[in-house]
Amino acid sequence: MSDDGRQVTRSGLDRLASVNLNLLVPLLAVLEERSVTKAAERVGLTQPAMSHALARMRRLLGDDLVVRQGGSIALTPRGQELIAPVRATLQHAAGVVNFPSFDPATDRRIITVAMTNSTAFVVGPRLGRLVAEQAPHATLRVRTITVPTESTFTEHGVDVVLMSEAFASPHPRERLYDDRIVVLASSQTPPEATALDLITTQPHVVVDTDRRVFPYSVLEEQGVGYRVGQLVSDYLLVPHLVARGGGVALLRYRVAAAMRSLVDVRIEEFPFPLPGLGIDMVWNPHLSDQYFIAWLRQALFDAVAGS
């Protein structure tokens, strides 16, 4: 009651005084790692201390947050929806107390980059080497995806998604590198054969999918005949199968060029005009650490330049 007898309504901020906000740090770690053990390692707690912190957050929020399903840990719907706001809250809090700028030489965070396995084949080795050199205490986590969705940014704490320009995104994007389709053929094919000759005379190794594989639609529009000799579910198996088993494939140039150092193949330019197939960086919209973003952005550009 106030001095004049009126009821004083406590605000949400008043009630925060009774909450240990330090629990938010281990909470986010558990939600992103989906493992008490890994979360404990990430924030420097013992496993019993992490389990105790999780139990306190469960009581406070009235939800299990994470549950065991078979041999793995899954998030409850409430746990899933908490990831983005808790991460944003902690990032804003770090800015308010003016923590020192991101220092790759000492930072121990997990850096998570999501991309297709073919993009990882191109970017991953050099990026891993750069992170090891520049951020020796950090861990690079490469999460391979097929089609990015909104949950890609929240389910595993992804910092940035590397995605084809062919996929739409509601978030701002920046070109990391340009790419194009080329004709990949066995080195045993006739050397005088043109790209169009190879396409029309050699059996094709094609990724097995329910969708019509780009750019075969272009060949069909041009009235170019071809024969599918093999269907394979793994994109990165295609160059190996062509090199060792013969035939031809339509592949991204960056993947083909990287594979050429491992298998004996020839690369020819695709004989018809095609739209671009660039790879863009799309940053997690909840990521507000601009110093970290600037560092990782440059590391990605350097990785591409060296690949």
Burial tier of 148 (Cβ tally within 10 Å: 0-12, 13-18, 19+):
buried
Cα dist from 140 to 5, 21, 24, 68, 224, whole Å: 59, 28, 23, 26, 44
Identify the CATH number of the domain in which residue 58 sits.
Answer: 1.10.10.10
What's the pLDDT at 22? Answer: 82
**Which residue, 96, 131, 151, sits at the end of a domain?**
96
- Secondary structure of residue 94 in the 3-state scheme: helix
Q: Is residue 68 part of a domain?
A: yes
Identify the CATH number of the domain in which residue 129 sits.
Answer: 3.40.190.10
This prediction's pTM: 0.69
Give the number of domains in the chain. Answer: 3
Same domain, 116 and 44: no
Q: Is residue 101 part of a domain?
A: no
Q: Which residue has the higher pLDDT, 248 or 98?
A: 248
Amino acid at 40: A
Q: Is residue 1 part of a domain?
A: no
- Secondary structure of residue 264 in the 3-state scheme: coil
The region of weakest confidence among 90-104, 187-201, 265-279 is 90-104
d(CA 82, CA 84): 6
d(CA 208, CA 204): 12
pLDDT single digits (tens) 111-157: 999 999 999 999 999 999 999 999 999 999 999 988 777 777 766 67
Q: Is residue 292 part of a domain?
A: yes
Sign of CA pseudo-dihedral 246, 251, 254, 255: negative
Helix residue ranges, H only, the chain: 12-15, 24-33, 36-43, 47-61, 77-96, 117-134, 195-201, 216-221, 237-245, 253-260, 290-305
Same domain, 129 and 186: no
Q: Is residue 9 part of a domain?
A: no
Give the angle 75-171-211 at the CA atoms, nearest 5°: 80
Q: Is residue 32 part of a domain?
A: yes
Q: Is residue 26 part of a domain?
A: yes
d(CA 293, CA 287): 8
pLDDT single digits (tens) 34-46: 888 888 888 888 8
Same domain, 60 and 84: yes
Same domain, 135 and 284: yes
pLDDT single digits (tens) 236-290: 899 999 999 999 999 999 999 988 888 999 999 999 998 888 999 999 887 778 8
Q: What is the DSSP letter of 138?
A: -
Same domain, 169 and 290: yes
Same domain, 258 and 289: no
Residue 215: asked if its preceding bond is cis (omega within 30°), the reply is: yes
Same domain, 138 and 254: no
Same domain, 294 and 165: yes
Same domain, 66 and 136: no
Q: What percent of the chain lies above the pLDDT cut of 70?
A: 90
What's the pLDDT at 70? Answer: 76
d(CA 277, CA 294): 24
Same domain, 89 and 56: yes
Q: Which residue has the tokens 């998570």?
A: 112
Q: What is the DSSP letter of 296?
A: H
Task: For residue 246, give its domain range.
Answer: 181-269
What's the pLDDT at 2? Answer: 45
Q: Is residue 203 part of a domain?
A: yes
**Which residue, 70, 96, 122, sits at the end of a domain?**
96
d(CA 181, CA 121): 16
Strand spans (E) along 146-284: 160-164, 174-177, 181-186, 203-207, 227-232, 248-252, 265-269, 279-283
Same domain, 292 and 261: no
Same domain, 140 and 264: no
**Which residue, 67, 96, 125, sits at the end of a domain?**
96
Mean pLDDT of 49-78: 87
